[in-house]
Amino acid sequence: MMERLMAIIKKAGGMILAADLEHADVEVKSTRGDLRTNYDTAVEEFLRRELALVLPEAQFIGEESGLQKREADKYCFIVDPIDGTANFTWDYHHSAVSIALAKGERILAGLVYNPYLDELFHARAGEGAYLNGRLIQVSQRSLRDGLICFGTSPYDKTKAAATFSLARLLYEKSLDVRRSGSAALDLCYVACGRCDLFYEMSLYPWDYAAAALIVTEAGGMLATMEGEELRFSDRTTLVAGGPPAFRDFWELYI
Ligand code: IPD
Ligand code: CA
Ligand code: CA
């Protein structure tokens, strides 16, 4: 099945690369800055169709069709057609397609594809995490020696004060901070050691479901920022990192 999912996600990435941005329809969703283009919709519809051919009995949850209740004993695809829609709209070349296959609260497979760099991250539960077929591992850097990525929860600006005061603290305690515009890629960058810790105070399952498995399969640690086990049904806070940076984070944050 993984081969088929890889072929599907690469085709979806091709749709992103082929987009005619000058003539894209851009609509505002929940708040200013929360955008949907005709490409978000088209890629999601493509994924819904193709994934139904791979596993007809599976439910489908995608960002553009919204959260639904998952049946505990059923397979479910959790999909973000374009993670990094603002980046996509601005032609920033840092966005990804994300596909997770879940059963209950377990993620069985996760794929995140950045078409601009032709980078495909994937993992199957219990089988390690890979970037373009090469095994990847999280870093073993301490927070002090690390680069920290964070997301700004741009659709919930009530989180701004907490987000940026933590960014300030982590900036002082680490080497530097980054904000990329794609939570799925931030997590995959943690998985392959390009950054050492990531946090964001409001994410939906389609932003992190696939990449969360990629992080754990690469030896990383994840939790909600309340210190609870991550779930895949609703909006959440999230922190992820290589083990040393993750431990250092909790000493600062508690
Ligand atoms: C967003 C991106 C962004 C993160 C937001 C997400 P979208 O996803 O992952 O980096 O900060 O919280 O909603 O809307 O571009 O799919
Ligand atoms: Ca997203
Ligand atoms: Ca999206």
Q: How far apart are CA 215 and CA 187, in angstroms?
A: 7
- What per-residue confidence (pLDDT) applies to 15? 97
Domain boundaries, the chain: 2-136, 147-253
The superfamily CATH assigns to domain 2-136 is: Fructose-1,6-Bisphosphatase, subunit A, domain 1 (3.30.540.10)
Percentage of the chain with pLDDT > 90? 86
Digit-coded pLDDT (tens) for 102-123: 998 899 999 999 999 999 999 9
Question: Nearest bound ligand to CA 95?
Answer: 1
**Length of the chain, in residues:** 254
- What per-residue confidence (pLDDT) applies to 151? 98
Q: Which residues keep their CB under 5 angstroms from ion ligand 3?
A: 63, 80, 82, 85
Distance 190 CA to ligand 3 centre (A): 20
Distance 117 CA to ligand 2 centre (A): 18
Nearest 10 degrees: CA dihedral of 33, 34, 37, 43? 140
Average pLDDT over residues 129-155: 97
CB proximity list for 122: less than 8 A, separation 6 or greater: 2, 5, 6, 109, 110, 111, 112, 129, 130, 214
Distance 144 CA to ligand 1 centre (A): 27
Could you tell me the pTM of the whole model? 0.97
Q: What is the largest CA-CA distance in the chain?
A: 50
Name all residues whose Cβ lies below 6 A of ligand 1: 63, 80, 83-86, 151-154, 181-183, 200, 203, 207
**Atom in ligand 1 nearest the alpha carbon of residue 153:** 12
- What per-residue confidence (pLDDT) applies to 31? 81
Digit-coded pLDDT (tens) for 81-97: 999 999 999 999 999 99
Mean pLDDT across the chain: 95
Q: Residue ranges of the alpha helices (H) in the chain? A: 2-17, 38-54, 85-89, 160-173, 183-191, 205-217, 243-253
CATH top-level class for 147-253? alpha beta
Query: Is residue 122 within 8 Å of residue 111, measured between CB atoms?
Result: yes
C-alpha closest to that of 153 among 204, 107, 117, 187:
204
pLDDT band at residue 22 using 50, 70 and 90 as cut-offs: confident
Distance 64 CA to ligand 3 centre (A): 7
